[in-house]
Amino acid sequence: MGFADGDTEWVWQTLEDARIPILTTFMRNESLALELCAFAVAGNAAQSLAAPTPESVKTSLARGFEVAGDHRPRSAWAQPNSDAEPAFKDVYMRMNHPLRYRFAAQPDRTFWVVFGFCEGALTEEGQRVLDLKIEGRTIETVDTVKKVGKNSPFVVCTEATEANRDGFIDVEVAAAPSAKEINPILNALWVFEKKPDEASVIAGAVTRDAYAYLPCGDALSMPSRPPRVGLMRVTVNNRGKVVADSKARITIRSASTIAFDELTGTVFLGQARHDDRTQWCRHPFRPLNFPTNDI
């Protein structure tokens, strides 16, 4: 890890504790000081933070989405009572757990996420009540029966931006606290670059224009994640008297082949010949402007 402009000088490195593998490295490039803190997380945190595997990119990102967790598709679960997109017949359902998805997005862009529903089982209000979330924030709560009734397709369209600068927009459907039915559902999911006409989305007339599309009955879940994930926190300080412009650089040395996915910003390591590559990332490592610090 370093800067694209000039040489990055290694200054010192320290281990937090012999039993706690938190490694801190300090480097500098002219007026810019770079502190790298490398560590690992395990358990549920590792499951949510792990990068996608090549298999998951092939199966899920082909439609622009990643599916997180063990979701079970059900075919012909609903019988839409109108001419609707075929995806409304099928459903994703997860037992007592939220449905979670994400798609690659740039921080400076606005998208429109469209949730598609068609209740195929329940007939009473107050049963399936769903919290629809973008980047962890509930943007709307819907009762699938109260909204339109059984076997009637409907969509919820909401504006979305990348909020936490991880290169993705997280989408979630969860059972609301007031719901009597604890299993959330989702029939289809779209992302558009411009706000679409909801009737056209239901009819399937604009699916071909979608930035990302997920027919839930046809989607594949992401494979199991590793037990832990390595992370690195990067802190940059400008110790000079003027504003400094620079671009981050990551150099990877591996005994395996290296492949970089531009869409997700993910580096995949295979098992083959020695490979040494410097990767210039367009996102999220874009040119940054560092103001001076009073230190």
Residue 273: per-residue pLDDT: 36
**Residue 28: inside a domain, yes or no?**
yes
**Residue 180: inside a domain, yes or no?**
yes
Residue 274, both tokens: 């020695």
Residue 47: per-residue pLDDT: 55
Residue 217: per-residue pLDDT: 76
Q: 74 and 209 share a domain? A: yes
What CATH number is given to the structural domain containing 67? 2.60.120.260
**Final residue in a domain of this structure, among 218, 240, 270:** 218
Q: Are 248 and 1 in contact (CB under 8 A)?
A: yes
Residue 129: per-residue pLDDT: 98
Q: 108 and 130 share a domain? A: yes
Q: 57 and 184 share a domain? A: yes
Domain that holds residue 60: 52-218
Rounded CA-CA distance 115/158 in Å is 9
Rounded CA-CA distance 30/75 in Å is 60
**Residue 10: inside a domain, yes or no?**
yes
The residue type found at 197 is D
Q: 245 and 172 share a domain? A: no
Residue 266: per-residue pLDDT: 65
Rounded CA-CA distance 231/116 in Å is 35
Q: 280 and 242 share a domain? A: yes
Q: 182 and 86 share a domain? A: yes
**Residue 198: inside a domain, yes or no?**
yes
Q: 238 and 276 share a domain? A: yes
Q: 32 and 81 share a domain? A: no
**Final residue in a domain of this structure, among 218, 250, 266:** 218
User: What pTM, to 2 d.p., does this model score?
Assistant: 0.57
Query: How many structural domains are present in the chain?
Result: 2
**Residue 182: inside a domain, yes or no?**
yes
Rounded CA-CA distance 284/274 in Å is 26
- Secondary structure of 234-276 in HEC code, one letter for each residue: EEEEECCCCCEEECEEEEEEECCCEEEECCCCEEEECCCCCEE
What is the per-residue pLDDT across 203-219, written as a single tens digit (0 to 9) for each?
A: 999 998 899 999 987 64
Intervals of the chain under pLDDT 50: 54-62, 219-224, 271-290, 292-295
Rounded CA-CA distance 100/77 in Å is 20
**Residue 295: inside a domain, yes or no?**
no
Q: 250 and 146 share a domain? A: no
Q: 77 and 213 share a domain? A: yes
239 CB-side CA count, 13 A: 12
**Final residue in a domain of this structure, among 200, 218, 236:** 218
Q: 208 and 114 share a domain? A: yes
215 forms beta bridges with 188
Q: 205 and 64 share a domain? A: yes
What is the per-residue pLDDT across 120-156, written as a single tens digit (0 to 9) for each?
A: 999 999 999 999 999 999 999 999 999 999 999 999 9
